[in-house]
Amino acid sequence: MALEKILSIGGKPGLYRLLTQTRSGFVGESLLDGRRISVGLRNNVSLLSEIAIYTLEEEVPLREVFQKIKEKEEGGKTSIGHKEEKIKLEEYFFDVLPNYDEDRVYASDIKKIIQWYNILHDKGITDFSESDDEDASSSEEE
């Protein structure tokens, strides 16, 4: 399962897999407990494939950050939990992405990234490479 099918829904814990689209929104399935929910278009929803992290030079796609975490942890879960103190989270993230913009990337963002990585790892979603679907869909639109 690629990151293009994984969603973060504002106000809802965890991550969701996109199952199908409906007229008024879509149906998602929680990666935490498997429950299905119907989400309207008014909800704040983000595809993980569209999220990027600010650095001092550019924005780095979340998939690259996940890949760097995977390399740091040698394919395992993170060595710290998402509920650690702010300073520990920032030190960990500095090891992963040394040039991240400390003024625009908050401790709450780092917590989410660590939590999301661990959820994906638990579900066996550890292939963070670029997918071919994006290239196919962009060429179809032209």
Number of folded domains that form the chain: 2
Q: Which of 33, 48, 63 is the last residue of a domain?
A: 48
104 lies in some domain = yes
66 lies in some domain = yes
Tell me if residue 9 falls in helix, strand or coil: strand
CATH code: domain of residue 69: 1.10.10.1650
Judge if 44 and 61 occupy the same domain: no
CATH code: domain of residue 7: 2.30.30
Judge if 97 and 37 occupy the same domain: no
Domain that holds residue 63: 52-122
Residue-wise DSSP of 11-61: TS-S-EEEEEEETTEEEEEETTT--EEEEETTS-EEEGGG-EEEBSSSEEE
How far apart (Å, rounded) are the C-alpha atoms in residues 15 and 47? 10
How far apart (Å, rounded) are the C-alpha atoms in residues 10 and 139? 31
130 lies in some domain = no
The strand pairing partners of 47, in sequence order, are 7
Q: Is pLDDT of 132 > 90?
A: no
Judge if 15 and 76 occupy the same domain: no
Judge if 59 and 83 occupy the same domain: yes
Provide the percentage of residues in the chain whose pLDDT is more than 70: 91
Mean pLDDT computed over every residue of the chain: 90
The strand pairing partners of 6, in sequence order, are 17
Judge if 39 and 59 occupy the same domain: no
For residue 2, the model assigns a pLDDT of 83
Q: What is the pLDDT of residues 93-115, one digit of tens each?
A: 999 999 999 999 999 999 999 99
Burial 116-137 (b: 16+ CB within 10 A, else e): bbbbbbeeebeebeebeeeeee
For residue 28, the model assigns a pLDDT of 96
Tell me if residue 67 falls in helix, strand or coil: helix
For residue 31, the model assigns a pLDDT of 96
* Mean pLDDT value of segment 44-51: 94
Judge if 70 and 92 occupy the same domain: yes
Judge if 80 and 43 occupy the same domain: no
Judge if 16 and 30 occupy the same domain: yes
Q: What is the pLDDT of residues 68-80, one digit of tens each?
A: 999 999 999 999 9
78 lies in some domain = yes
Judge if 20 and 64 occupy the same domain: no
